[in-house]
């Protein structure tokens, strides 16, 4: 039985598939909301829609193959027509926290190289200010303890991500620190500060990248456009 958050994710994901046009090369995000997008996109492909996708994680790649979505990569294409991705938090300026699933680096490479980025979420992801969700930061394993200390000096409590009793390793062979900041009033500045720390590969702050947010809510999907 699906709960209301799952139903909202499904509605947002399926709506996003309607925005895909024949001939497009699509960045395929990661996460449980994207799953619904991929499932619906696969149905459209099986009905004749011609598209290709660039997956942002091994999990997404597996789903795309399962749903029969043709894949490509950056050796074949440089610019994507559209990327569809999920998020852990979305603020009123469309700044995002991402990386709850650990795919933030590949997601950022994919999303940053798309002409348009559409984010699909359930209502719970909309926040007034980023920071309640611990910020995922991808770091090099070597010397991770030192990188963690430097991040803590910025006011965070970093926690090394562990899954099933083992240190979580990203698709790129890196570690993730989930960094609890009291609040993140200036995501752009914090992203810059974090990127200056040696050992930090990428942050889960996606700033000024999103064009449209599709929010699934009970019985409908609301489209939020960015106010310029
Ligand atoms: C993975 C992500 C996901 O997009 C984010 O965690 C949202 O996931 P879900 O749709 O399952 O709530 O950034 O790294």
Considering the domain architecture, whether residues 117 and 174 belong to the same structural domain is answered as: no
Is the pTM value of this prediction over 0.85?
A: yes
Neighbours of 71 (CB within 10 A): 14
Considering the domain architecture, whether residues 213 and 142 belong to the same structural domain is answered as: no
Residues with CB under 6 A from ligand 1: 9, 29-33, 85-88, 98-104, 107
Write the DSSP symbol of residue 134: P
Task: Sort 54 into a burial class: Cβ within 10 Å, 0-12 / 13-18 / 19+.
Answer: buried
Considering the domain architecture, whether residues 109 and 213 belong to the same structural domain is answered as: yes
Q: Which of 89, 107, 138, 202 is catalytic?
A: 107
Range of the domain at 38: 4-125+207-218
Considering the domain architecture, whether residues 11 and 101 belong to the same structural domain is answered as: yes
Q: Total structural domains in the chain?
A: 2
Considering the domain architecture, whether residues 93 and 14 belong to the same structural domain is answered as: yes
Per-residue pLDDT of the chain (228 residues; tens, 9 = 90+): 889 999 999 999 999 999 999 999 999 999 999 999 999 999 999 999 999 999 999 999 999 999 999 999 999 999 999 999 999 999 999 999 999 999 999 999 999 999 999 999 999 999 999 999 999 999 999 999 999 999 999 999 999 999 999 999 999 999 999 999 999 999 999 999 999 999 999 999 999 999 999 999 887 899 998 765
Considering the domain architecture, whether residues 148 and 111 belong to the same structural domain is answered as: no
Considering the domain architecture, whether residues 116 and 152 belong to the same structural domain is answered as: no
Q: Which of 31, 126, 127, 132 gets mutated to test ligand 1 (max ligand atoms within 8 A of its CB)? A: 31
Considering the domain architecture, whether residues 13 and 120 belong to the same structural domain is answered as: yes
Flag whether 141 is in a domain. Answer: yes
Flag whether 226 is in a domain. Answer: no
Q: Rounded to whole angstroms, how far apart are CA atoms 207 and 83?
A: 15
121: helix, strand or coil = strand
Active site residue 208: no
Considering the domain architecture, whether residues 105 and 154 belong to the same structural domain is answered as: no
């Amino acid at each position: 039985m699906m709960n209301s958050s799952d139903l909202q994710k499904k509605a947002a994901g399926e709506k996003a598939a309607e925005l895909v046009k024949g001939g497009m090369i699509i960045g395929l995000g990661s996460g449980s909301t994207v799953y619904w997008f991929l499932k619906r996109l696969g149905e459209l492909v099986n009905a004749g829609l011609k598209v290709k996708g660039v997956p942002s994680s091994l999990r997404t790649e597996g789903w795309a193959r399962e749903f029969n979505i043709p894949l490509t990569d950056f050796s074949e294409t440089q610019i994507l027509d559209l990327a569809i991705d999920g998020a852990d938090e979305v603020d009123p300026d469309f700044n995002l926290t991402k990386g709850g699933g650990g795919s933030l680096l590949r997601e950022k490479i994919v999303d940053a190289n798309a002409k348009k980025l559409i984010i699909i979420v359930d209502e719970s992801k909309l926040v007034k200010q980023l920071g309640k969700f611990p910020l995922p930061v991808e770091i090099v394993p070597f010397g991770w303890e030192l990188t963690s200390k430097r991040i803590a000096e910025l006011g965070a409590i970093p926690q090394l991500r562990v899954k099933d009793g083992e240190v979580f390793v990203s698709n790129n062979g890196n570690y993730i620190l989930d960094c609890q900041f009291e609040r993140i009033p200036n995501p752009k500045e914090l992203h810059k500060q974090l990127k200056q720390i040696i050992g930090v590969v990428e942050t889960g702050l996606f700033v000024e990248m999103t064009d449209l947010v599709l929010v699934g809510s009970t019985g409908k999907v609301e489209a939020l456009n960015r106010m310029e």
